Amino acid sequence: MLPSNRLVECANQLVHLASELGDPTSELLARELSEQIPSDLLNLVVVGQFKRGKSALVNALLGADLMPTGALPLTGLATVIRDGGAAAVEVRTREARQARAIAPADIRLFVTEEHNPHNVLGVERVDVVWPSERLRGIALFDTPGIGSLHRHNTAAARATLPRADAAILVVGPDPPIGLEELEYAREVAASSEKLFVVLNKSDLAGESLPELLEFTRRAVADALSIDVDVLPVSAKRARAAQQTGEEDAEFARLAAGLRNFVEGSGRATRAKSFRRRALRVAERLDTFAALRISVWQMPAEQRRRRRQLLLDALQTIDDRARLLQLALDDDFAQLQMRLRDLFDRLHDRDLADFRSTSMRFAALSTQSERDSLFAETIAGVVARWRAEALAQANGELEVFAQKYVRLARDIERAVWTAGLEAAQLDAVDLLTADIWFAPANLRLVGALVPTTGLELVFRTFADLLPGTLRRAVLSVRYRRLLERELDAVRGKMRYGMACELEPWHRRVRDAIQTSMNDARSTVLAAFDESPDAAGETEASRSVGDARQRLRAIRACIENGTAAA
């Protein structure tokens, strides 16, 4: 089994070969792989549906209330926790050049939806060093839950899976494991070498616990075609026992099982995980090298004809890509229209309530009471509309992104297939770059809605009128003010939504275009260079040498981990 320094060396060699061969996608994938190998640590990812108690389980494993927990979905970003001599937390954002040290108690300010909604702070990662024997040899990932109203949390959780060597899937008794969790379990199992299944909150199951454990075991076994043990635990009860200096028996069995795994087959599991990912990158590089050599060994006339065939095929693919861009723009315009229509529906729905509310203003005796009611009414409208708009927008954007990720990958594969066919090579299912669209950050929706109606209230005149007339005038006046404010809120929220969505739209377009352009330029490069007919130029010898080194790396990876 290869030591960790050799794993990193293999990954770095893949990075250099990808750069040498001119395949930017392979270089990116190899570089990410080399960065995902912390020295001698097994990446253990805690995953599951929202509110299954993942963060509570992490806290029990740490023996400390480090990660925030609560009644509502909290965790919005993945946090990586490693063993160390003294507690330390670093937060890295997209804009900052250096990580920022924070107190452990302030983690919630960066990883929770309450304090960092939709990741408005631009946090890329949170790294924690925490003194804990149970973390020895482990990098523990606390991830957001899938399936909550915060759809971007699901995307963040899935983005963590490629880094997993092993995973703990946390399920619960009420409700028991469902179809969405089983689909997620398939993704987790495909991205990791070892899967633990933990039924948390076992104290709530009562006498039904044995039945629930067997149901969960059968459901996972049927879905994944593997046999797994389902371990019962109550993270909350375990943490309470720790605080009194005791140890919960169920949790002790789980902790012992994890420790035995890490100390027994943990290194082998980590090596297998690296092997699987590294070989896929190497396969892509080998195919690319074979493409170039095959083209260079063609007679000049044949190469010219095959290049023209490739250009014809790429023209067809370019047409597909343009149609895809037009479809994307059209779908996005339709999405914006639906969101604008949503604000119209919200406006019409609440208009009747506003008219009845105006009578309440007339019944109040002082201007300060009327001002307070006005501000409260508008604030309530803003909160309701923002929540409904975000729920619809996030749902539609997730479907939108999934659709175009799939179509973009299809186009990239089509480019590679065209290149391989032009080089008279068999088509293969190549590893493609991950295309992941970060969710739109809709923080401006509602942020641009200060109330304006209060500036228009004529205070003195109304208070001088007789009681009956004063109430009638105030009722009419506030009804008009409320209707005007409702129109202003609608306009400002539409503007805020447009300000946030258009940059997201451009990022989606750019990601798709970049994916296709990289594949196109990589494939065409093999046909555009002009070594001699025998392929004995320095360039072809260099690629041949790179391919030999690539084979040596593959053999090293395969043979070095075979003993595991």
* Residue 84 token pair: 């160390």
| Residue 369 domain-assigned (yes or no) | yes
Q: At 362, which amino acid appears?
A: A
Sign of the four-CA dihedral 313, 314, 318, 324: positive
Same domain, 222 and 188: yes
Same domain, 343 and 267: no
pLDDT beneath 70, residues of the chain: 1-5, 7, 36-39, 70-77, 94-97, 118, 145-163, 352-359, 361-365, 427-476, 478, 529-540, 560-564
Count of domains in the chain?
A: 2
**What pLDDT score does 428 carry?**
62
**Cis-peptide, bond into residue 173, ω within 30° of zero:** no
**What pLDDT score does 199 carry?**
92
Torsion on CA atoms 203, 205, 210, 215, rounded to nearest 10 = -130
Same domain, 344 and 446: yes
* Residue 341 token pair: 């229509």
Same domain, 411 and 470: yes
Same domain, 356 and 305: yes
308-340 tens-digit pLDDT: 998 999 889 888 888 888 888 888 888 888 888
| Residue 438 domain-assigned (yes or no) | yes
98-151 tens-digit pLDDT: 778 888 888 888 877 777 776 777 777 788 888 888 888 888 888 876 654 445
| Residue 510 domain-assigned (yes or no) | yes
**HEC string for 405-459:** HHHHHHHHHHHHHHHHHHCCCCCCCCCCCCCCCCCCCCCCCCCCCCCCHHHHCCH
Give the CATH number, domain containing residue 209: 3.40.50.300
Same domain, 316 and 393: yes
Distance of CA 260 to the CA centre of its chain: 31
**What pLDDT score does 564 carry?**
38
Whole-structure pTM value = 0.56
20-51 tens-digit pLDDT: 877 777 787 787 777 766 557 888 888 888 77
**What pLDDT score does 241 carry?**
92
CA distances 396 to 53, 153, 297, 528, Å, are: 28, 15, 50, 42
Same domain, 215 and 312: no
Same domain, 373 and 514: yes
Q: At 314, which amino acid appears?
A: L
Same domain, 318 and 265: no
| Residue 289 domain-assigned (yes or no) | no
**What pLDDT score does 232 carry?**
92
Q: At 283, which amino acid appears?
A: E
Domain that holds residue 357: 298-529
| Residue 160 domain-assigned (yes or no) | yes
420-456 tens-digit pLDDT: 888 888 766 555 555 545 555 555 555 544 444 444 4
Same domain, 433 and 520: yes
Sign of the four-CA dihedral 377, 381, 384, 387: negative
Same domain, 155 and 267: yes
Same domain, 356 and 484: yes
Q: Which residues of 177-196 are buried (b: 16+ CB within 10 A; e: fewer)?
A: beeebbebbeebbebbbbbb
